Amino acid sequence: MIRLRNLERRYPLAPGKFFYVLRDISIDVAEGEFVSVMGPSGAGKSTLLHILGMHDHGWDGEYFFNDTAVHHLKAKERAALRNEQIGFVFQQYHLLDDLTVYENLDIPLSYRKVNKTERAAMVADTLDRFQIVAKKDLYPRQLSGGQQQLVGVARAIIANPKLILADEPTGNLHSSQGEEIMELFQKLNSEGTTIIQVTHSEKNAGYGNRIIQLRDGWVVEGNKK
Amino acid sequence: MLSEIKVALRGLAKSPGFTVIAIATLALAIGANSAVFSLINALLIRPLPYQQPSRIALIWEQFATQGLDRIPVSPPEYLDLEKEFQSGTQLAAFTYQTFNLGGGDVPERISGAVVAPSLFPLLGVEPIKGRTFAREELGQGHDDVIVISERLWKRRFNSDPTLVSKSLLLNSRSYTVIGIMPARFEFPIPLFGVQGNQFAERVDIWKPLAFTPLELKERGSRSYGLLTRLRPDVPLATAQAELDKIISNWIQTYRDNYGGGGFGARIYPLHDQVVGGMRTGLTILLGAVVFVLLIASANLATMLLARASARERELAIRVALGAGRWRLLRQMLTESVLLGLAGAASGVILSVWGLEFLKEIGARTIPRLGEVNVDLTVLIVTTVVGVGTGILFGLIPAFASAKPELTEALKEGGRSSTSGARRNQVRNSLVVAEIALALVLLVGAGLLLKSYARVQNIDPGFDRRNALTAEIDLPETKYPQRGSADYRHGEAMISFWNEALRRVQQLPGVEAAGYTIVLPLSGSNTDSSFAIEGRVLGKNEPGPDEELRIISPDYFRVLKTPLLRGRFFAESDNGDAPGVVIINDALAKKYWPNEDALGKRITFDDTRKPDAKWLTIVGIVRSIRHRGLDFDPQPEYYLPLAQRAQSSMILTVRSAQDPRNLASAVRREIQAIDPDQPIANVRTLEAVTADSIAPRRLSVVLLGAFAGIALLLAGVGIYGVISYLVVQRTHEIGVRMALGAQRGDVLRLVVGHALKLVGIGTVIGLVLALLSTRTLSALLYSVGAFDATTFVLVTVALAAVALLASYIPALRATRADPMIALSHNA
């Protein structure tokens, strides 16, 4: 599904001098895999995730998503591809505070120009699937951390993406809440969704079937060509 | 769209402080625009309340070589034009006349007009009750009918349904009421700037024309306005050409009346005459409120930019979830348009109050002010302004925030991104723009204020303190006029005037009392031509025609106008004595520049006639500014009332104390002579003077108010930007203080930034002010459009306010605890 070749991300420090966040990243991720990206702070894990999620465009190298050469696409085309194929789960949940649970789930569908009736059906299904129907009219501030992340995951998968990217999805949760989320990811993966997560937790990494280790911007382990 | 509105409303409800300030700011700015547009709509745009008003025109005569234009016509000239002028379907002469309405407890003077029967059909307005004049209701003996206004009907007669066909006592004569005109009907319409600073009061009674035999003989006695309705197929130029031909024939036929050359007549579309004088002032006012709106928009934009910074995370999430740039823009513009609409709604309420206040203070200054209201047109325009303003001030922050840096905003502990720097630049630019615009308004207001102060301090040529005035119009039926068989040199009138003066002079506190036919600075004027003994005019040389006053002996003592040479009139200057005249020094300088005018003689008669009545100049007084405080004194000459009886005079009384205390006593004395005789328009000379500069005062008040609002908004804008800057740089300030920066260093850092913005804004504002103050030239007196003192003072004042606004947050920054500041997440 994903092929990275010689991917590099750097920031200019002074004329002719750069700071490298990612260096010569070449990895493959097959469809249906559950990959954990691990490494110490500053290794470039989140940056890699945001590049995979097409949030970050300032990189060099090659990135193929299902044989589409992302590195040749313009920003608008990347955004369209992202909307179609990728869901993102954030460590801080990043729910919209002024929207109810229902509306938070609805918003990615409205951005994808799904018509109102269809949206209503999809949101209802998702609420049911995640067993949060009773909370649909609540605002994020009225939910616990675990419930907010649950909604975050629900929002990420509502448009049926092929790939879920999760950046420290349990970082702000209690262990029991974190377990619930990881079990949910496992279930989604078993249903065919490819998952790439960034995590510090060995336990969380154990839910996946492959670990990629990054250090100082390099892949040091788990690369697959 | 509905979801965006819902989210926007929720967001605004969550920040009540921001929302209230935003709506209040917009209400002020949009309200001001709405009020001024209401003025423009009613006074300039709305058609006059007549049928097909664009075809209605006034005909004025002129003596170009003597610099006299917009002169009324005489009855013989009107009758000739009625026969000869084919370009108009109808022609109607009219003039003002006051009526003493008797029959009640207190007699009342009512403003009225004497009009041709063709007037009402010409204007095309039907009465609400009864009828208007028939063709035959014209001329002496047929003119004992009147039409009254709905206003008078309601006020004085309690809307009596049986009033039509009843009789009223006017000027001691019985008239039958035949019709009532609707409240919206007004004629003659006051012409701003034609009668001078004051316009005639609204007319409530119309009577048919009835020329006297004397009027029908005197071709040169011009006191009637002339209205015409041009034929639909006749362009103005064609009508003017026809009129020129008629005039040319008159000049050939009546050489004695039109000698001197330069006589002509012009057709003026009525709408232009009514609105022309107001256009400049209203345009300047509109410019001022547009500036205020721009400043308010800039303020709102800076506030929204700060809000967008706080929403960067939310915007990034929306983009991450798939929102395109247009969806983000739409979301942000929805919020700003909602604010705009709320501001517009509140602004309409403010403008209604503002207009009521304006009607109070501007009643004697702006004609037809009573017609100004917030109608559907104004509401539509205000709504459009509200939406447009919302888009205007929402666009900049929306564009500045619609491309958030996703990775920075979405990461854990993400710090403010480069888009924050971009927003700061935009915010600074907006504040600079606000300061520039505020400076332009302040300079304009400052120049007008200086002008006004200069005008107020002008010596008018008389002492305006402690003097009361009252208008008295004697009815013809009791006091026969010139031309009437019972005139007898005006004995009845002079007897009344003398007795009234005697009684008033004996009132406690009265130092002097006298009469004049027109008050200085009142907006009224009379003039007459005359001949000077020993001066022979050239073939086409126009004779002297100067402003004429008829006064009683003590008039100048009431005004405390100094006598320069000779003497005032005396009681002995009566009807049996030789004719005498007093002139002012302007007239003396004009006609006797190198010799003494005392003892010289003038006449109104043909100098070739052996029985010409000569008037000897017995006194020269200091010139009075009659037309306006800001007009140079004109040549004037004065005749004694005892030798020139008049039916309408203005009583003037000088008092030792507050002259208003004399009003009831004066009324009592007048009514002791004639219980049916009212006095009207009782006001002090100070009020007359103040009213004469009321338009100028109104401009100062309005422009000053808008400039004040602009200054407040600019101050708030600076305060907001510097406050935000302090919050943004809290961490940096903490580091500086930890490294040894003192309070003064922090103040310099913050205030220095403010000074930079103020400096740039001031330079731009000064350039704009220099370019724009020329438009004010027509409104300035004795002050140049580039008056350096005003520019400097205003700049210093604005800079002081801006610095004060920045000092407060700067002071806050110096009080920050370095340890707390260091831990602040910038």
pLDDT at B727: 80
Q: What SS3 string covers A125-163?
A: HHHHHCCCHHHCCCCHHHCCHHHHHHHHHHHHHCCCCCE
pLDDT at A19: 85
User: Rounded to the nearest 10 degrees, how much is the dihedral formed by the CA atoms of B112, B212, B84, B257?
Assistant: -110
Least confident of B125-134, B322-331, B639-648: B322-331
Give B743-806 as a DSSP string.
HHHHHHHHHHHHHHHHHHHHHHHHHHHHHHGGGGGGG-SS--TT-HHHHHHHHHHHHHHHHHHH
**Alpha-carbon gap, residue A176 to A144, rounded angstroms:** 13
**Alpha-carbon gap, residue B543 to B607, rounded angstroms:** 12
Which of A156, A96, A82 is CA-nearest to residue B3?
A96
**Which residue among A99, A103, A111 sits closest to B327, beta carbon to beta carbon?**
A111
pLDDT at residue B436 is higher than 80: yes
Query: In DSSP terms, which residues pair with B208 in a beta bridge?
Result: B115
Residues in chain B: 826
Q: Name the residue with higher pLDDT: B398 or B763.
A: B763
Q: Which amino acid, residue B672?
A: A
Which pair of tokens denotes residue B532?
């000077």
Kindly state the percentage of chain B with pLDDT values over 90: 44
Q: What is the per-residue pLDDT across A94-138, written as a single tens digit (0 to 9) for each?
A: 888 878 999 989 988 888 878 889 999 999 999 998 889 999 999
Give kind and range of the element (H or E) at residue B61: strand B56-63
CA of residue B543 relative to chain centroid, distance = 35
Does residue A169 have a cis bond before it (omega within 30 degrees)? no
Chain A 67-106, CB below 8 Å of chain B: which residues? 79, 82-83, 88, 90-92, 94-99, 103, 106
- Collect all residues of chain B within an 8 Å Cβ-Cβ radius of residue A123: none
Give kind and range of the element (H or E) at residue A218: strand A218-221
pLDDT at B414: 45
pLDDT at B747: 86
pLDDT at residue B192 is higher than 60: no
**Which residue among A91, A95, A108 sits closest to B412, beta carbon to beta carbon?**
A91
CA of residue B451 relative to chain centroid, distance = 16
Q: What is the per-residue pLDDT across A138-149, written as a single tens digit (0 to 9) for each?
A: 999 899 888 898
pLDDT at residue B419 is higher than 60: no
Q: How far is A116 from chain B (nearest CA, A)?
A: 11
Contact (Cβ atoms closer than 8 angstroms) between residue B249 and residue B80: no
Please, which residues have CB within 8 angstroms of residue B696's CB and are 6 or more apart in sequence? B448, B451, B452, B455, B630, B779, B781
- Collect all residues of chain B within an 8 Å Cβ-Cβ radius of residue A79: 319, 322, 324
**Alpha-carbon gap, residue B641 to B516, rounded angstroms:** 8
**Alpha-carbon gap, residue B805 to B825, rounded angstroms:** 26
Contact (Cβ atoms closer than 8 angstroms) between residue B111 and residue B100: no
Tell me which of A111, A158, A168, A170 to substitute to probe the interface with B (most B C-beta atoms closer than 10 Å).
Answer: A111
**Alpha-carbon gap, residue B59 to B228, rounded angstroms:** 7
Q: What is the per-residue pLDDT across B19-54, written as a single tens digit (0 to 9) for each?
A: 998 899 899 899 989 999 998 898 888 888 899 999
Q: How far is B411 from chain A (nearest CA, A)?
A: 8
Interface touch B14/A92, C-beta < 8 Å: no
pLDDT level of residue B676 (50, 70, 90 thresholds): confident
Q: Touching check for A112 and chain B: CB below 8 Å?
A: yes
**Alpha-carbon gap, residue B777 to B287, rounded angstroms:** 15
User: Would you put residue A81 in left (φ > 0), alpha (ψ -120 to 50) or beta?
Assistant: alpha
Q: What is the mean pLDDT of chain B?
A: 87
Q: Which residue has the tokens 């609805």?
A: A106
Interface touch A103/B3, C-beta < 8 Å: yes
pLDDT at B113: 93
User: Reduced to 3 states, what is the DSSP secondary structure of residue B389?
Assistant: helix
Contact (Cβ atoms closer than 8 angstroms) between residue B442 and residue B765: no
Q: What SS3 string covers B490-538?
A: HHHHHHHHHHHHHHHHCCCCEEEEEEECCCCCCCCCCEEECEECCCCCC
Mark the ranges of chain A whose per-residue pLDDT is less than 50.
Answer: 225
pLDDT at B822: 61
- Collect all residues of chain A within an 8 Å Cβ-Cβ radius of residue B412: 46, 91-92, 167-168, 171
- Collect all residues of chain A within an 8 Å Cβ-Cβ radius of residue B319: 79
**Which residue among B321, B323, B411 sits closest to A46, beta carbon to beta carbon?**
B411
Contact (Cβ atoms closer than 8 angstroms) between residue A214 and residue A40: no
pLDDT at B820: 66
pTM over 0.80: no
In B, minimum Cα distance to A158 occurs at B321
Chain B: which residues have CB within 8 Å of chain A?
3, 7, 10-11, 14, 313-314, 317-324, 327, 406-407, 410-412
Contact (Cβ atoms closer than 8 angstroms) between residue B348 and residue B386: no
